[in-house]
A and B are shown apart, each in its own frame.
Chain A
Amino acid sequence: MVTSVTNLGRSGLFDWVVQRVSAVVLLAYTVFLAGYLLTNSGLTFNEWQGLFQQNWMRAFSLLALLSLITHAWVGLWSVTTDYVTVRQMGAVATPLRLILQSGIALLSFYYLVWGIQILWGAG
Chain B
Amino acid sequence: MLNVSLYRYNPETDEAPYMQDVQLDTGGKDLMVLDVLEKLKAQDPSLSFRRSCREGVCGSDGINMNGTNGLACITPLSETVKQNRLVLRPLPGLPVVRDLVVDMSLFYQQYEKIKPYLINNQPAPAIERLQSPEERAKLDGLYECILCACCSTSCPSFWWNPDRFIGPAGLLQAYRFLADSRDTATDERLAELDDPFSVFRCHGIQNCVAVCPKGLNPTRAIGHIRNMLLQRAT
Q: Show the binding face of A for B, using Cβ within 8 Å.
A: 1-4, 7, 11-13, 15-17, 78, 81-83, 85, 87-88
Assess whether B229 is in contact with A13, with CB atoms less than 8 Å apart: yes
Query: Cβ of B233 < 8 Å from any Cβ of A?
Result: yes
Assess whether B160 is in contact with A13, with CB atoms less than 8 Å apart: no
Tell me the nearest residue of chain A to B203, going by C-beta: A78
Query: Cβ of B199 < 8 Å from any Cβ of A?
Result: yes
Q: Which segment, of B37-45, B53-61, B128-136, B189-197, faces chain A?
A: B189-197
Q: Show the binding face of B for A, using Cβ within 8 Å.
A: 156-157, 160-161, 163-164, 191-201, 226, 229-230, 233
Tell me which of A15, A17, A85 contacts B160 (CB under 8 A).
A85
Report how far A78 CA is from B160 CA in the complex, Å.
11
Return 19 A-B CB contacts under 8 Å, by A number.
Answer: A1-B191, A1-B192, A1-B193, A1-B195, A2-B196, A11-B194, A11-B195, A11-B196, A12-B194, A12-B195, A12-B200, A13-B194, A13-B233, A16-B200, A78-B201, A81-B161, A81-B197, A82-B156, A88-B160
Tell me which of A4, A83, A87 contacts B196 (CB under 8 A).
A4
B169 CB, min distance to chain A CBs, angstroms: 17
A89 CB, min distance to chain B CBs, angstroms: 12
Report how far A11 CA is from B193 CA in the complex, Å.
9
Report how far A12 CA is from B202 CA in the complex, Å.
11
Tell me the nearest residue of chain B to A19, going by C-beta: B200
Report how far A85 CA is from B163 CA in the complex, Å.
12
